[in-house]
Amino acid sequence: MLTKRRILVFIFDLVLISMSLCLAFLLRFDFSIPQPEINLFWECLMVVLVVKPLVFIAIGFYQNLWNYASVQDAIEIFKGVSFASILTAFAVLFLRQFTPVPRSIFLLDWFLLFAFLSASRLIWRVYRESYRFGSSCEGPRTLIIGAGEAGSLLLKEIRRQMHSSYNIVGFVDDDPEKKGMKLHGVPVLGYTKNLRAIIRLNEIEDVIIAIPSADNRTIRTLVDSCRNAKVTFKTLPSIGELIDGTLTISQIKNVEIEDLLGRDPVVLDREMIGKYLSGKRVLVTGAAGSIGSEICRQIAQFRPEKIILLEQAETPLYEIEKELTASFPDLRIMPMIADVRDREKVMAAFEEFSPEVVFHAAAYKHVPMMEYNPAQAVLNNVFGSKNVADAAHRFKVKNFVMISTDKAVNPTNVMGATKRAAEIYVQALSLASSTKFTTVRFGNVLGSNGSVIPLFKEQIANGGPVTVTDKRIIRYFMTIPEATQLVLQAGNIGSGSEILVLDMGEPVRIVDLAEELIRLSGLTPYEDIDIVFTGLRPGEKLFEELLLDGEGIMPTSHHKIKVLAPVEIALDPVMKKLEVLYATARSNDLAALMEGMMQLVPEFRPTYSFQGEAPATFQRVRPDLFASALTAKAKILPIRKQ
pLDDT, the chain, mean: 78
- Which residues are CB-contacts of 149 (< 8 A; sequence separation ≥ 6)? none
Q: Residue 639: what pLDDT?
A: 33
Identical topology for domains 138-261 and 270-443+479-503+545-571:
yes
pLDDT number for residue 382: 94
The list of the chain residues with pLDDT below 50 reads 134-136, 243-245, 249, 548-550, 610-642
- What does the alpha-carbon distance between residue 510 and residue 519 come to, in Å, rounded to a whole number? 14
The one catalytic residue among 280, 407, 541, 577: 407
Pairing mode, strands 357-360 and 253-254: unpaired
pLDDT of 353 reads: 93
CA separation for the pair 117, 545 (Å, rounded):
66
Rounded to whole angstroms, how far apart are CA atoms 460 and 528?
Answer: 10
Q: Are 440 and 492 a contacting pair, CB within 8 Å?
A: no
Q: Residue ranges per domain, the chain?
A: 4-133, 138-261, 270-443+479-503+545-571, 579-638
Q: Which is it for strands 399-405 and 477-479: parallel, antiparallel or unpaired?
A: unpaired
Buried b (16+ CB within 10 A) or exposed e, 118-156: bebbeeeeeebbeebbeebeebebbbbbbbbebbbbbbe
pLDDT digits 0-9 by tens, 533-559: 888 776 666 766 655 444 566 666 666
**CATH class given for the domain over 138-261:** alpha beta
The CA distance from 52 to 85, in Å, is 7
Topology (CATH) of 270-443+479-503+545-571: Rossmann fold (3.40.50)
Q: Is the CB of residue 186 less than 8 Å from the CB of residue 146?
A: no
Query: Does 419 participate in catalysis according to the annotation?
Result: no
**Cα separation of 233 and 51, whole Å?**
57
Predicted structure pTM score: 0.63
